[in-house]
Structure 1
Amino acid sequence: MSTIAILNANPSKEELKQWGSFADMAIEMFEATRSDFLVSKVDYEVYNVYDNEFPTILELCKGGCLGLYITGSTSDAYTVGIDWIDKLRKFLRSLLENSAHPPISGICFGHQIFASALGSEVRRNPNGYEGGITRLKITKDALKLGLFQKPATSLPSYNFYASESHSDVVENVPEGYINILTSEKCEVQGLYKRNVALTFQGHPDFLTEVCIKCNEATYNRGEIGVDELIRIKESGKEHINDGRFLATFIWKLFTKLV
């Protein structure tokens, strides 16, 4: 049976217990979109990397692993000196050196730690916190490759909306990769290299309700004000969340279609 390895980078959060852990939400996302790619049943292998639980490079590269997925986290990807984060960064570097490595996707923290492993700068966003169902613009490089186009329409797509909840950003694009998306507050919203990696700063794994709950928790921690929380809640009513559409492109990466 084919497998997808999930590196779970955060313990379950009390405010999101209705939806489970970030790994649980990833599995739900994959299962909700799997049939589009005629993929038979998949075994999801979860590794709690925040608790120093890692697969081996050999396990991932021996064949049968469709892809590696790195979840979001409340931790900062640029942190140095926290054992599991340092280990994850080193693990990704070592994995990428193996030509047989599976395709890699990362979400939010996963996007940032992947970029950090490749030498990109990750830091606190000077433009401030970004949350809610957010407009993402497809870059010219991504448009040239035909990424994020909806086959049901003959008209080209230039933007869509997805869940966001982050204070940190990737500052520069690693060599050999392209930036695929931008937003008003974040220039590098995703990274892509054919058959190698596809990452998102946003959360295709978050349903709109999850996005709002996560941002409410940010407000309760005093990290955003009431006006911003109101705006975030309104975004959930005003915009359709295209997260599941984004998830289909992770499947396309894992099945070597992009």
Structure 2
Amino acid sequence: MGDSNDNSKNPVGDVTTSKADNQEAVHMLIFETDEPHPETKDRKGGGFAKVFDELFTKAGSEHDPPLSIETSMHYVVDDPDNGHNGHVPNTDEIPESIKAILITGSMYDAHGNDKWVKQLLSLLEEVWTKRPDVLLSGICFGHQILSRMLGSKVEGHPSGKWELAHTEMSLTPVGQKLFRTDDKKLSLHQMHQDQVTTKPSSETTSLLKEGQKVHVWASTEHTEIQGLYIRDRLFTTQGHLGFDEQMVRRQIEMREESGSIEGDETERAAEAKESAHLKHDGEVVAAAILRFFHGDDHDVD
């Protein structure tokens, strides 16, 4: 649990990293689905959950009015052959105090059949049906696996191209409402080849009621579905709101070293590293997700 990826014997949510004290806090459980580069881990003082805890705490403290968040974390990747010794919990292991779950990004495939991925998928389905009080959010892999849970198709880009680093997205009218802006553009760092290619509905899954609204809040030329929003249930994003310049560079390097980025895409990767310093809207997105967790976005439907 926490900054160690060996948490198979620890109860879920027993490590709390921070709690703001300006109002009642929403207790968020972060499912870590990967580990950052060792340099990033040293610099940030922990894994991806630590990155998100700091981001959401900062976004909440600067929000008007302030929004409080309490963060616990649990590492779910169970892949001992590759040094990952986490575990996917059962629904009854998730404390009643948890009111939000966020799933991080990962180098694993959300459309794959790894045992732990399938277990996580089953857990999320159970949470959806048995814990309607828990709101769900996901980043990149998290966005994709939650979409898959709801019957969406998740697959690689047909051209094999990656969407990398600082990327400008076109907001839909719902996106403008979520982010409380009249601007039609918003930027996030991207780090993906896979994407959600179909929008979920009651026709793709029994988890959604007939007529239940599912909104896409932004799109790009590469990826039409950059994020999904379902009021009082789900808020996802393909882009990485917690990435900074150094993290972007490290994540690209890790994918180059693993062979995930190769051939013609290496030139695109070099260009992406050069754009990694550009300011993006991660805190804006974090604030919107916090409003979602607090139930402050009921005018969006």
* TM-score, normalised relative to structure 1: 0.87
Alignment partner of 1:106: what SS? strand
Instruction: Give a deviation string over 1:8-33, Cα, whole Å, max 9, x none.
Output: 11134335333331112111211221
Deviation at residue 56 of structure 1 after TM alignment:
4.2
Match of 1:72 in 2: 105
Superimposed CA distance per residue, residues 189-234 of structure 1 (whole angstroms, 9 cap, x where no aligned partner): 1010011110000100112321222113223334144421231123
Q: Which structure is higher in RCO with an 8 Å CA cutoff and minimum separation 6?
A: 1
Structure 1 residue identity aligned to 2:101: L
Q: How far off is 1:165 after superposition?
A: 0.4
User: Which runs of structure 2 are paired with 1:127-166 in the superposition (5 Å)?
Assistant: 127=159, 128-143=161-176, 146-150=177-181, 156-166=182-192
Which of 167, 172, 189 is residue 226 of structure 2 equivalent to? 189
Aligned to 1:111: 143
**RMSD of aligned alpha carbons:** 2.1
Aligned residues of 1:179 and 1:190 also touching (Cα < 8 A): yes
**How far 1:2 moved relative to its partner?**
4.6
Pick from 142, 150, 157: which aligns with 1:125?
Answer: 157
Between the two proteins, the alignment pairs up a number of residues equal to 247
Q: Percent identity?
A: 28
Deviates more, 1:194-203 or 1:2-11: 2-11
Secondary structure of 2:155's aligned partner: strand
Residues 4-15 of structure 1: matches in 2 within 5 Å?
A: 4-15=28-39
C-alpha separation in 1, matches of 2:146 and 2:68? 28
What residue number does 2:20 align with?
none
- Number of the residue aligned with 2:295: 256
By how many angstroms is 1:118 displaced? 0.9
Alignment partner of 2:248: what SS?
Answer: helix
1:161 is displaced (CA, Å) by 1.1
Shift of 1:53: 2.7
Structure 1 counterpart of 2:291, one-letter code: K
| Contiguous gaps of at least 5 residues in structure 2 | 1-24, 79-85, 202-212
Unpaired runs of at least 5, structure 1: 151-155
Q: Which of the residues 233, 240, 244 maps onto 1:203?
A: 240
Q: 2:11: which partner in 1?
A: none
Query: CA deviation digits over 1:46-105, x for unaligned, max 9?
Result: 11111353444345573x32311101110000012x211001111111111125331111
Contact 1:134 1:235 in 2 (8 A): no
Quick check: 1:84 aligned with 2:116? yes
Distance 1:208 1:187, change over 3 A: same
Higher helix share: 1
Question: Residue 157 and residue 2 in structure 1: after superposition, are their counterparts in 2 closer, same or farther (change >3 A)?
Answer: closer
- Which whole-Å CA distance do the structure 2 matches of 1:234 and 1:31 have between them? 29
Structure 1 residue identity aligned to 2:284 = F
Larger radius of gyration: 2
1:169 aligns with 2:195: yes
Taking structure 2 as the reference length, the TM-score comes to 0.76
Question: Hey, what does 1:153 align to over in structure 2?
Answer: none
Aligned letter for 1:178? Answer: H
Identify which of 18, 22, 26 aligns with 2:48: 22
Is 1:34 matched up with 2:60?
yes
2: CA distance, partners of 1:105 / 1:11: 19
Runs of 4+ in 1 over 6 A off after TM superposition: none
1:244 aligns with 2:277: no
Following superposition, the deviation at residue 173 of structure 1 comes to 0.9
In structure 1, how many angstroms separate the alpha carbons of the residues matched to 2:189 and 2:111? 22
Contact 1:95–1:101, Cα closer than 8 Å, also in 2: no
Whole-angstrom distance in 2 between the partners of 1:111 and 1:40: 23
